[in-house]
Amino acid sequence: MNHYQKTLVLKTRGKDFHRITREIEEIVSESGVKMGLCTLFVRHTSASLVIQENADPDVLVDLSNFFAKLVPESGHYIHSTEGPDDMPAHIRSALTKTSEQIPINQGRLVLGIWQGIYLWEHRQHSHRREIVVYISGI
């Protein structure tokens, strides 16, 4: 039984999807685990995880547009001292994922062929984001 934990640090370029599939796969490879589980955990409440299509980038544009409309930055929020993009960022995080789990088989994540892992930065400006990656298995 192996246990492996590593923190992936990412400097985001502001509100956008940051594909981290390759970085996570490298950590899985480092861990030496052939069959097991990979857990991702975002240590923030204004950025989140989403596993989405990795082929047509328009999917991410539409997803972004949908959330911009659903949780508008122009909305009236009580919590506004950190800027108009902060409270919507919290809500978007609550609607998506703080943690995600992907089984590992034959030393690789069992992602579907069209699945990519993304850190979704919900703030307008660049932030330093930490994703804890925990891997256990044999």
Query: Rule CB under 8 A: which residues touch its own copies?
Result: 1, 3, 5, 35-37, 39, 41-45, 50-53, 56, 58-59, 61-63, 66, 70-71, 75, 77-79, 81, 87, 90-91, 93-103, 105, 110-112, 114-115, 130, 132, 134, 136-138
The distance of closest approach from Cβ of residue 14 to its own copies in the complex, given in angstroms and rounded to an integer, is: 19
Residue 30: CB minimum distance to its own copies, A: 16
| Per-residue H/E/C for 32-95 | CCCCEEEEEEECCCCEEEEEEECCCCHHHHHHHHHHHHHCCCCCCCCCCCCCCCHHHHHHHHHH
> Which of residues 14 and 55 has its CB atom nearest to its own copies in the complex?
55
What's 111's DSSP letter?
-
For residues 115 and 118, give the distance between their C-alpha atoms in angstroms, rounded to a whole number: 10
Which residue's CB is nearer to its own copies, number 109 or number 124?
Answer: 109
Nearest CA to 138 among 17, 65, 34?
34
Q: Rounded to an integer, what distance in angstroms lies between the CA atom of residue 57 and that of residue 83?
A: 28
Closest distance to its own copies from the beta carbon of 29 (Å): 18
CB of 67 to its own copies, least distance (A): 9
